[in-house]
Amino acid sequence: MSNRIHQLWSRTRIAVARSRITALGGALALIAAVLLTGTAAGTAGAATSRPQVVGNGWECTWTPIPPGYVVSDTQPLGCQGTGMTFRQPEFDGVWACVGSPVGPGYVLTNWAPSGCRGEGSYQHQIARDGLWVCQYSRIPPGYYHTDFAQTLCGGVGAFILRKY
């Protein structure tokens, strides 16, 4: 029995040693790449390239959101516990989670604090004259806002959007 435990312990030590040697080799390769090229291999274009999502779908929260898409739902337990978001193309009237990108020409027109599993959500609409716009919405070029009503936009307050 003692010999069997000794063999298992030896195998475990060998496996640990192998994984450490592999990690050390990877670290040395990364350091060499930085020294030789000035950047880590494979990361040079990472900041500028975005994954292309075709249609609706669930993605890990850390995956960049492509232009023209919004996050319309969240799932905190997906992607090994880091969370998932449901992405879909932005369109007039879509409800999107707080923090979701707002595309050019769109404004925030309503607020639901219970949306996106309690995180809150805003309704995105294409800007047009006479539309009530939430207080924190950006105002697109060619528009200004007038009048204020505290009770609109889920109690956050809203302005009337006017075209110049």
**Spatial contact of 91 and 125, defined as CB atoms under 8 Å apart:** no
**Spatial contact of 145 and 118, defined as CB atoms under 8 Å apart:** no
Instruction: Measure the CA–CA gap between 138 and 102, rounded to whole angstroms.
Output: 9
* 132-155 burial code (b ≥16 CB/10 A, e <16): bbbbebeebeebebeeeeeebbbe
The tokens describing 147, both together, are: 């009048």
Residue 142 predicted with pLDDT over 70: yes
Task: Pick the more confident residue, 128 or 18.
Answer: 128
The letter for the amino acid at 78 is: G
Q: Got the DSSP string for 78-128?
A: TTTTT-EEEEEE--TT-EEETT----TTEEEEEEETTTTTTT-EEEEEE--
Residue 132 predicted with pLDDT over 60: yes
pLDDT tens sequence across 53-84? 445 789 998 889 999 999 999 988 888 888 99
DSSP, collapsed to helix, strand or coil, labels residue 50 as coil
Instruction: Measure the CA–CA gap between 146 and 10, rounded to whole angstroms.
Output: 76
- Per-residue confidence (pLDDT) for residue 79, from 0 to 100: 87
pLDDT tens sequence across 42-58? 433 333 334 444 457 89
pLDDT tens sequence across 3-16? 555 554 555 555 44
- Per-residue confidence (pLDDT) for residue 37, from 0 to 100: 43
Instruction: Measure the CA–CA gap between 17 and 19, rounded to whole angstroms.
Output: 6
Domain limits, the chain: 1-48, 57-163
Q: Which residues pair with 162 in a beta bridge?
A: 144
